[in-house]
Structure 1
Amino acid sequence: MTIKEFSIEYDAVNSRNMFTNGDTINGRIIVAVSKETKIQALTFIAKGKARVCWSEHYGQYHHHVYRSSEKYYEVQHHILREGRQDGTEVIGKGRHVFPFSFTIPDRKIPSTFTGSIGRIVHKLKAELKQSMKLTKRAKQHFTFISKADMDTPGLMDPQYGRKDKSVKVFGSGNVSLDVHTKQMGYIQGEAMQVTLEVSNRSSRSVKPKFVLYEKRSFLAQGRRRVHTNTILKDKIKDIASSDKETVTKVISIPRELPPSILNCAIIKLEYRLKVYLDIKCVTDPEIKLPIVVLPVSEGPAVKQPPPSAGFGFQTFGNPNPAPWGMPPPQQVAPNPMDLPPPYGAAAAYPSLNDYGRYENTF
């Protein structure tokens, strides 16, 4: 084989090896040959795109595949092309390094994301063409985190919900639940203060509980598929019959939690805080408030907090989740990979709406 090595690599710009809008990626394409070799073209390509694909079965013999895709940018630089009259360039025996530089567009582009039936990828590619031979390709994915969109409607507005419930089975009376938060947007690691006002005018005791969960939505051809996953949950002491209490709970947004993805038409990553009253033998009254998670390095309108503990919360799901965005410092990206780097929790999530029709699961 004449070509002994064909690869692409890039330089990290920070210890987390992440990039954002407007960053410049510098790197190099490496070509090592065992003898003097003719090359028709050597091309650098940068691409950002999203893709969704899943199938649904109808009976024993019928199924339909739903697909959708979006492209956010594609840039090509011709590094070697038509160097001679015959349309080829000759490189000598040995190892050759061809540098490149690419600036990520400074506009609204969704962050890197990997899910079970959809993903958003940002990658660098190199293509080497030779006469009468198959095109050689090398690629390298990089992690892109979009800048916080501080123009999101209601991002810094207080959130409020109220629910009333009558108790008729094995008891009597009614209960009411009011929930307040100071805002909708929080950066990774920030403390969220939740205030509950519970009025228990029933003959039963009630137990307030909290759940922070994520919702992943995939859309294609007029269909939607939804996966949900619990991130945190906790509870506080029972509130006795004929009692009224106001309770403040502090919840830490996990620092490793991926930022919300709201700027992609076919993939969405959203968060909700669910607060409910656990009442035996009664449908639990519950309130769901939207939470927008912002990247820790962004959000100029939000004061960045110091790292905070879990405030007594337990994490659920994967007991050993892969750390998001915290690889060891490095100067050069790892060798080319077939899959993008991990983003968020594991790809397999429990599905509450496996075929994702248009029910309101929030």
Structure 2
Amino acid sequence: MFQQTLRNFSINLDALNERNTWTGGDLMTGRLTFDLTKDTKISSIVLTVRGKAHVHWSTSGGGGGRRRRRRRNHSAKLEFFNIKSALLQVTSVTTKLQPGTHVYPFSCQLPQGNFPSSFRGAHGQISYTLSVSVSRPWHLAKDFVTEFNFVHHIDANQSDMLAPLAGSNSMTLCCLWCASGPISMTVRLERKAFVPGETVKIACEFGNGSSRTATAKACLSQKQAFYTHNKISKIILSKQLAAAQGPTVKPRTDEDRAVTTDIMLGIPTSVAYTVSNCSILEVSYCITVSLGVKASPDLVVLFPIVICDTPPYVAPPPY
């Protein structure tokens, strides 16, 4: 068995940064290591670096009888790049590798391009892999695969990423012929771009002219969207990733006595980056600030934000 002959196979990549990520144009270097227990004929060792996306989901058919039991499958695939290079190309099938440890250094230049960040979701994934195929004469090739984390750099210092965001909303409560005083909120964010692990400061101003107590809350939600080619079919999933409780706003708190406060909302360190440059898979984020009143719809302000890998440079305030 080849598994008994070839042992301790490993692919070791040299890290470029503390996060162990790569991006377009990076030079990927590393070593391929394995042990042989006896003389072994090897015809080639080929390295392949590949980037791809794949989505798949199923939907139930409509109608009655058999049609109701039918399921329809939706899927799509994309390949961003597929680079191959030979680490070992033996010219004679009689050449043998000796027993012992074998080390093959390698390097590969990742292509420049608008490739999306790695992501694994409910109905699809964007993956980047490095695989090694070991071929022997008259035998099937043996493949070894490792996945690496690819990041699409988003320039967080663009003007639209650094510009403050603001929103407001208001409503009144009605009961028969009576209407309450206005319930209002004004919310501000310092900017649009954030990084995983960062705490978002949400500046809020709440007014409650009703006779009921209102409660404020902020939450971070993620939306995953999966598409077939040309976006003929799609499925969208949303989930809440983090939440923070705001203040309780007492009744009869008018504009002159509005409650001003900051809500601090933490972004999880494990959150994936925004994906907006893939035609079959998108990942987006939104911060929702709400003011809830019992037996009434919440008053809501929404802020689409971007999660990127590099924090924006914010100049210190002048003295």
TM range (shorter): 0.7 to 0.9
The aligned amino acid for 1:248 is D
The aligned amino acid for 1:9 is I
Question: Partner of 1:99 in structure 2?
Answer: 105
Of Structure 1 and Structure 2, which has the larger fraction of its residues in helix? 2
Question: Partner of 1:122 in structure 2?
Answer: 128
TM normalised by structure 2 equals 0.83
**What is the 5 A alignment of 1:234-253?**
234-244=245-255, 245=258, 246-253=260-267
Cα shift at 1:61: 2.4
Residue-pair matches, total: 300
CA distance in 1, matches of 2:112, 2:150: 12
Counterpart pick for 1:141 among 120, 124, 147 = 147
Deviation per CA, 1:168-191: give whole Å up to 9, x if none.
148622322222212111233334
CA distance in 1, matches of 2:290, 2:34: 60
**What is the 5 A alignment of 1:26-65?**
26-59=29-62, 60-65=68-73
Counterpart pick for 2:289 among 268, 275, 281 = 275
The change in CA–CA distance for 1:151 and 1:16 in structure 2 (over 3 A counts) is closer
The change in CA–CA distance for 1:99 and 1:179 in structure 2 (over 3 A counts) is same
Question: Partner of 1:194 in structure 2?
Answer: 202
CA distance in 1, matches of 2:114, 2:315: 22
CA distance in 1, matches of 2:8, 2:250: 67
CA distance in 2, matches of 1:62, 1:240: 55
CA distance in 2, matches of 1:153, 1:127: 46
Would the aligned equivalents of 1:7 and 1:139 in 2 still touch at CA under 8 Å? no
Would the aligned equivalents of 2:166 and 2:188 in 1 still touch at CA under 8 Å? yes
CA distance in 1, matches of 2:79, 2:157: 23
CA distance in 2, matches of 1:269, 1:196: 27
The aligned amino acid for 1:206 is A
The aligned amino acid for 2:126 is I
Deviation per CA, 1:22-81: give whole Å up to 9, x if none.
333322233443433333321000111111111111143211111112222211101223
- Percent identity between the aligned chains? 24
The change in CA–CA distance for 1:67 and 1:167 in structure 2 (over 3 A counts) is same
Could you say what secondary structure the match of 1:154 adopts?
helix
The change in CA–CA distance for 1:282 and 1:169 in structure 2 (over 3 A counts) is farther
Would the aligned equivalents of 2:42 and 2:90 in 1 still touch at CA under 8 Å? no
**What is the 5 A alignment of 1:62-81?**
62-81=70-89
RMSD over aligned CA atoms reads: 2.6
Would the aligned equivalents of 1:8 and 1:139 in 2 still touch at CA under 8 Å? no
Question: Partner of 1:155 in structure 2?
Answer: 161
CA distance in 2, matches of 1:32, 1:26: 21
The change in CA–CA distance for 1:291 and 1:300 in structure 2 (over 3 A counts) is closer
Larger of the two Rg values belongs to structure: 2
Of Structure 1 and Structure 2, which has the larger fraction of its residues in strand? 2
Question: Partner of 1:9 in structure 2?
Answer: 11
CA distance in 1, matches of 2:47, 2:140: 17
CA distance in 1, matches of 2:315, 2:49: 34
Deviation per CA, 1:203-253: give whole Å up to 9, x if none.
333222211121122222422222222222222122322423133323333
